[in-house]
Structure 1
């Protein structure tokens, strides 16, 4: 669990609700079914129109990373590569075949199988780098779904405010309803700007940073596999891969 993300969500709610109460608008000032329909439902409609269905589905699969980032233990993996290199130098690459089925990461399992099969190091690099790049682009596109929602939400908030003011204009003959009508109109703006800056855009930025970190780690895995295939000294492999930790 990412405690920082949980704290951030709590602080965002405190800032929004607390600010509304302290400014005298009260909790009721933040509730507007019409504004919710225009801004939130409208934002989802816009992003669904923009995004391919596979990317949209992927976005909602990785959104949990905001609170539960993918498990990662690069140091343990480096130690594993050093052990594999030692085994390969003593007993040959075929001695690593037993390790292939033990790997849960598809990329690592595929790469280690190619090493065992004696595939040329450069061929291994080309094939794995294509896979790493494709995986990275897919997840970055999914993260940008929330970035797009952060772009659309404020604009739809303005649309909601304009629609609310149009309704107010129709009731100019009744001054007692003007204040309440104008306040309700600007609630849509709060929804749009608040959702974008307190939720959608920060989520997108966090997901993109996690995808980049995951890509960096996958590049380390590729380098480790290539080094084993080339028969490098285990100590040199450890020094090289430790560079990825910094």
Structure 2
């Protein structure tokens, strides 16, 4: 589960509620000032209705699935992709490109995009056409992913707009029904009720919709980096480049810190293997 998103959401609402309560004289005043059901109907109902009118139904149906993606904590391991591509490069250099079809299906890393790219070079398609086809596939994936945050961007745009609309409705009612005998008290109470819808619209846009949209965009960017790296690796395999050179080329997609940890793990594995070989030799000499 995506703990940082949950903590941020709870902290945001908690701090706003704390600020409201601490600035009010009593809990009853908070309830009277900030809980207004007609304002909720206008702001939330109007924003949702306008969003339903603005985006295709398919985008709305995908919202639950997109929220599941949002709540996943797992991060794409680029080092794992680099190891896989290097392994495929070694196999292609030793046995040819045709062996990659069976190899990619038997590997632990099961990625449909990687399989798709590998099959393009197995089918002996020209490198320029392979690059063009993979880039087209990435563009189509980006277009599909855009529907994930378009719903929330639209809702974030309509929230403050309907909040302002509710404020205008409140002001019109206040001025139409204002009792001049009550003086400034009636004006202040009416203004307070009218401004609640603007508060609801701002909260909907800035505390819910915008963070969800930004997090989905961040996940999309992370996935696109992996796909671009796969494309470069597969094209390098097709060109017959050295596997070690391919690894160094793909290392540019990860940070120096991640490369250092990877090298440390590799050195650890080498030391373990050398220790085992030394132990076997000592046993043989004995």
2:219 aligned partner: 210
More off after superposition, 67-76 vs 230-239: 67-76
2:156 aligned partner: 150
2:115 aligned partner: 109
For 2:105 and 2:36, the matched residues in 1 are separated by 55
1:196 aligned partner: 205
- Say whether the 8 Å CA contact 1:171–1:178 is kept in structure 2: no
2:22 aligned partner: 22
For the residue of structure 2 that corresponds to 1:232, the secondary structure is coil
Query: Any gaps of 5 or more consecutive residues in structure 2?
Result: 256-286
For the residue of structure 2 that corresponds to 1:65, the secondary structure is helix
More off after superposition, 78-87 vs 161-170: 161-170
Q: What root-mean-square deviation, in Å, do the aligned CA atoms of Structure 1 and Structure 2 show?
A: 2.2
Give the TM-score of the pair, scaled to structure 1. Answer: 0.89
Paired residues for 1:1-246 under 5 Å: 1-24=1-24, 25-68=29-72, 71-102=75-106, 104-173=110-179, 175=182, 179-246=188-255
For 2:103 and 2:44, the matched residues in 1 are separated by 49
Q: Between Structure 1 and Structure 2, whose CA radius of gyration is higher?
A: 2
- Say whether the 8 Å CA contact 1:58–1:139 is kept in structure 2: no
Q: CA deviation at 1:201?
A: 1.6
For 2:144 and 2:99, the matched residues in 1 are separated by 35
- Say whether the 8 Å CA contact 2:88–2:104 is kept in structure 1: no
For the residue of structure 2 that corresponds to 1:101, the secondary structure is helix
- Say whether the 8 Å CA contact 1:100–1:113 is kept in structure 2: no
How many residues in Structure 1 have an aligned counterpart in Structure 2? 246
For the residue of structure 1 that corresponds to 2:177, the secondary structure is coil
Give the TM-score of the pair, scaled to structure 2. Answer: 0.78
Tell me the alpha carbon deviations over residues 46-69 of structure 1, each in whole angstroms, 9 at most, x when there is no partner: 222222233343455323333325
For 1:47 and 1:60, the matched residues in 2 are separated by 16
Q: CA deviation at 1:238?
A: 0.3
Query: Any gaps of 5 or more consecutive residues in structure 1?
Result: none
Q: Which one has more relative contact order, counting CA pairs under 8 Å at least 6 apart?
A: 1
Tell me the alpha carbon deviations over residues 146-203 of structure 1, each in whole angstroms, 9 at most, x when there is no partner: 1222121111101111212223234323747665443322211110011111111222
Q: Which runs of 4+ in 1 moved over 6 A?
A: none
Tell me the alpha carbon deviations over residues 3-51 of structure 1, each in whole angstroms, 9 at most, x when there is no partner: 2211110111112211211121424533222111111111112222222
